[in-house]
Structure 1
Amino acid sequence: MRVLIRADASHAIGSGHIARCLTLATVLRDGGAEVAFACRELPGHLLDRLAAQGWRTYRLTAEAIGAEVDIEAALPWQADIDGLQLQLAGARFDWVIVDHYGLDHRWQTAARQWAPRIAAIDDLANRRHAVDLLLDQNFSGTPSAYAPWIDAECRGLFGPRFAMIRDEFKREPIAIRPHARRLLVNFGGFDAAGETWKAMQALEGIDGLEVDFIAGTGNPEWQRMQAMAQGRADWRLQTHTEQFAELMAQADLFIGAGGGTSWERAALGLPTISIAVAGNQQANGECMAAVGAHLYLGPREMVTVESLRQAISVLVANQGLRQSFAERSRSLVDGLGVKRVAAALAGEFMQLRAASMDDARLLFDGRTAEAVRRWSVQAQTIDWSSHLIWLASTLANPQRLLLVAEALDGPIGVLRYDLDGARAEVSIYLFEGRFGLGWGRALLNSGEGFIQRHWPQLQAIDAQVLPANQASINLFRDAGYEQADCRFERVLKDHPHD
């Protein structure tokens, strides 16, 4: 699978778009995909860093497309497409992913010249999209919010369940001490608004705290911050760090912006004072505060040095409040969001094939796994010799179809269809490591087309699920099956049989 990501970073835009796309790109590459980035050469771009990390990069001349402007300002989309045409030189991809507030449905439609599938990452819900998949990992991203902006056929991935967290943030929860002693301050990769300086002023009058300030490259207040930090052995000031996850894991309290780092903090259970440094962060900051996941002080223009100092003083001494923030925030994010997004992308190109006797061990291990057998309608113990007899019989049965699904990084799961006239009953299971990521839906979608070509007379698919198997119940509901007690039915629409 080949993927092109279109995103920008700059002093005005920040580094958040590239950061979350890089998290996704890493998981896609680990799964066998080829991933490239296309970015404008704006002041503060990250193209050199991406290239140094081994990513293929396409450099777009900022002057020809649009210079650095407000992060939500529309770009001249045709110029952007023209710039890509020069750079890509006829290259083809399976997906184009765009994470950019300035590019809308016109750019997305034109980008189909390079890929059959287009995905967008968004958190504004304020412009039309022409995509096959849309991701908004924030609380404010809901189906109703995007209903006016996407087609009914577009698949939506909404909410913190899809928060794209890097592996280094999936670790033991932070211990909540009686009194906070260590703080971490960061307002993004650039902090063009200078909020780190405000936090430093707020902390100046509070003794007994060890503080790490990650100020962001090109910070406008860098000289004043250096001067204030001099002589403070308990303050450490730097523009960038490769140990950000470690610093977060060691901190008792975080002060920062409401962007993508919100979900990394949530995964760790790191109590946070959040300030929105951009308009697109406000709704999510309010939503997280409403469910008790952090202390949100509002947009940066409304937060004074004194109000921030008071908030810090309250949280430093209040273990119960910090504990509550930690528990609630960790309940929102399980760390698997980026794998769910990757599965949604890779699932479109998953391969199905008929099983053979060469798959005997693979199928046996899958059928006998505790997580599978527990929810099987026929849950009796299976021995190896019985399995071989069953498999041989299954493969010789013209009324039964056994399929193995595979992605670039290995087998995904198994589908079995039993034909009865114009209907077929489906059984499904996933292999270890594939649970809870959305692969089941991809299997059902691919299997539906496969069996309609194999059995053109088919009119409906049935499924039977144990009453307590909520995961399978949700799976069949989401796949469009109609439920009657613990049985499900999917009436098939016309499908091409060639």
Structure 2
Amino acid sequence: MRVLIRADASPSIGSGHIARCLTLARALRGQGAHVAFACRALAGHRLHALETEGFETFALPNFYSGEDPQQAIESLLPWQADIEALEQALVDCSGFDWIIVDHYGLDHHWQTAARRLAPRIMAVDDLATRTYNVDLLLNQNLSATPTAYEGLLPDHCRTLLGPRYALLRDEFRCGAIEIKPKARRVLVNFGGFDAAMQTHHAMLALADYHDLEVDFVAGADNPAWARMQLMVAGRPHWRLHSFVSHFHQLMMETDLFIGAGGGTSWERAAMGLPTICIAVSNNQQANSEVIATVGAHIYLGPRETVTVEQLRDAVGFVMGNQGLRQSLARHSRRLVDGSGASRVAVALAGALLQVRPATQADARLLFEGRNAEAVRRVSLDDSFIDWDPHCQWLQASLVNPQRLLLVGETSDGPVGALRYDLQGSEAIVSIYLFETRLGLGWGRALLTRGEAFSSAHWPQLRSFTAQVLPGNQASLELFRQAGFTQDTCVFTRVLKDIPHE
């Protein structure tokens, strides 16, 4: 699979779009995909960092004719110019299976034109305020709901909504930090650029807390850098970092985080790190409010309304209140599990998933897959199947015209197995994923491909039926999402009306 990511970074845009796309790119590469980035060569671009990680990069012009250099980050770019620049950059490049666009300035016009370069388009979004022409849409924010996108998406578009799909690096599956009786260490970070100078704002608020150890991560391009250096110089417990390669470790060691409402929200949530949040841009406000509503962080409001005194008081209130910090940690860890990037990568790869009839050569694969403890636990028959009976069953299944046994595969190997048993115009479906594929969303793609294959194989098919154990929540949800209707624990999906005699 070949994937092109279109995203930018600059002091006004920030580095969050590139950061989260980089996390997704790593997950895709882990599945065997080739991933490239196309970015404008703006001040503060991240092209060199992407190249250092081994990703192919394409530099686009830093400015287009007719573009207002003072426009807000949510404003639209001249989409025709961006598409033309992209086409020119890719002129000698092989085609792509997907283009992922993570950019507030590129709307449905750009997405429609980009189909000249790839058959499938995915958008990473935070706004839910525009029309989209995409096949897959990701909004990892807690504020993202199907209602928010009503009328904005094409009918065929699949949505990945909420922090279940938060794009987190692998290290954030580490477990919860310790909540101490009193907070002694604080970490402050407002993104890679912090054009709004909120790090300096936090310094002013923390100046009277002489016993606190504080790490400020700000970036040397911060407009208040010189002033911050002066403030840190006289405080032995303060440290100012322009860049850190151990940010995760700093988070593990801290008791309280002060920062923005962007992508780092999910890193903090995964660790159960108590946080005082200030939104530094309009697109962070809704998500920050909803996270506060579920009790997962303290939200003070947009930066324009938060005074130094308000932040100082909030720090004092949270610092000595262990019960509050324990509550924040508990509620935040319920939001994310750290597997979001893998789930999104699976959704992309699932569009290219292939199914094929099983053969005798699949005997060992199916034997081990069916006997995996996690699979047997949710099977109607949870007994261990011995090798000889399994081989006899497989041989009989392969020559049975009323049975179709399929294996799903993608570029990095087998995904799962499907069995269809034909009874008149109905097929009884059974599905399981191989153990390493569980919990990431492969079931939906596998079921979709299997349905298409079996319908072509048996033109007389009118419906599918599946029986699921009451406790198998993953399968119950899978069949619901696939359009099956439920009667107790039996699911049925009707393909077409049967004509009356």
TM-score range, shorter chain: over 0.9
Amino acid at match of 1:32: G
Percent sequence identity is 62
2:438 equivalent to 1:435: yes
Q: Which residue of 2 aligns with 1:410?
A: 413
Q: Tell me, yes or no, if structure 1 residue 210 matches structure 2 residue 213.
A: yes
Q: For residues 108 and 155 of structure 1, what CA distance do their matches in structure 2 show?
A: 15
> What is the SS of the residue equivalent to 2:435?
coil
Partner amino acid, structure 2, of 1:470 = Q
Tell me the number of residue pairs that the alignment of Structure 1 and Structure 2 aligns: 494
Offset, 1:493:
4.9
Q: Which amino acid is the alignment partner of residue 42 of structure 1?
A: L
1:333 counterpart residue number: 336
TM-score (norm 2): 0.97
Q: Deviations over 1:171-191 (max 9, x none)?
A: 021000001111100000100
Cα deviations by residue, 1:250-296 (Å, 9 ceiling, x for unpaired): 11000000000000000000000000000000001100000000000
**Distance in 2 of aligned mates of 1:490 and 1:45:** 49
- What is the match of residue 78 of structure 2? 76
What letter is aligned with 1:92? G
- The SS at the match of 1:213 is strand
Q: Is the 8 A contact 1:357 1:391 kept in 2?
A: yes
Maintained 8 Å contact 1:187/1:216: no
Equivalent position to 1:419, from 417, 422, 446: 422
2:235: which partner in 1? 232
More off after superposition, 261-270 vs 465-474? 465-474
Deviations 1:45-99 (A, max 9, x none): 1111111221111111022364463210100000000101110106411000000
Q: Which moved more, 1:424-433 or 1:291-300?
A: 424-433
Q: Alignment partner of 2:336: what SS?
A: coil
Equivalent residue, structure 2, for 1:320 = 323
- Which amino acid is 2:82 matched to? D
Checking the alignment, whether the CA contact within 8 Å between 2:50 and 2:57 is kept in structure 1 is: yes
The answer as to 2:353 corresponding to 1:350 is yes
* Conservation of the 8 A alpha-carbon contact between 1:16 and 1:260: yes
1:14 aligns with 2:14: yes
Deviation for aligned residue 1:139: 1.2
| Aligned position for 1:49 | 49
Q: Does 1:156 align with 2:159?
A: yes
Partner AA of 2:441 in structure 1: G
Gaps of 5+ in 2: none
| Cα offsets for 1:461-480 (capped at 9, x unmatched) | 11111222222111100011
Contact 2:197 2:223 in 1 (8 A): yes
Q: Which residue of 2 aligns with 1:466?
A: 469
Q: Is the 8 A contact 1:5 1:21 kept in 2?
A: yes
2:179–2:322: 8 Å Cα contact kept in structure 1? yes
Structure 1 residue 245 and structure 2 residue 237: aligned?
Answer: no
Alignment-derived partner of residue 28 in structure 1: 28
- The whole-number CA distance in structure 2 between the counterparts of 1:426 and 1:77 is 46
| Partner Cα separation in structure 1 for residue 347 and residue 285 of structure 2 | 28
Corresponding residue of 2:395? 392
Whole-Å Cα distance in 2 between the matches of residues 488 and 394 of structure 1? Answer: 23
The structure 1 residue matched to 2:87, chosen from 50, 62, 85, is: 85
| Alignment match of 2:150 (pick from 144, 147, 169) | 147
**Partner SS for 1:332:** coil
- Superposition RMSD in Å: 1.2
Q: Map residues 262-281 of structure 1 onto 2, 5 A cutoff.
A: 262-281=265-284
Cα distance in 2, alignment partners of residues 41 and 233 from structure 1: 39
Contact preservation (8 Å) 2:269, 2:335 = yes
Among candidates 278, 300, 303, match of residue 303 of structure 2: 300
Gaps of 5+ in 1: none
Match for 1:339: what amino acid?
S
Aligned to 1:37: 37
Rounded to whole Å, the distance in 2 between the matches of 1:250 and 1:478 is 41
Q: What does the per-residue CA deviation read over 1:310-348, in whole Å, with 9 as the maximum and x for residues that have no partner? A: 101111111010000001000110111111111110000
Contact 2:357 2:407 in 1 (8 A): yes
On the 8 A contact 2:2/2:96 being kept in 1, the answer is yes
Contact 2:64 2:78 in 1 (8 A): no
Matched AA of 2:354: Q
Q: How far off its partner does 1:423 sit?
A: 1.4
1:489 Cα deviation after fit: 1.1
Are the counterparts in 2 of residues 182 and 210 from structure 1 also a CA contact under 8 Å? Answer: yes
In the other structure, the counterpart of 1:135 is: 138
Q: Structure 1 length normalisation: TM-score? A: 0.97
Note the alpha carbon deviations across 1:187-235, whole angstroms, 9 max, x for none: 0010011000000111111121111100124100000000010032211
Displacement of 1:376: 1.3
- Structure 1: distance between partners of 2:155 and 2:340: 23
Aligned 8 A contact 2:281 2:302 in 1: yes
Q: Is the 8 A contact 1:189 1:217 kept in 2?
A: no
CA distance in 1, matches of 2:416, 2:220: 46
Are positions 1:369 and 2:372 aligned together? yes
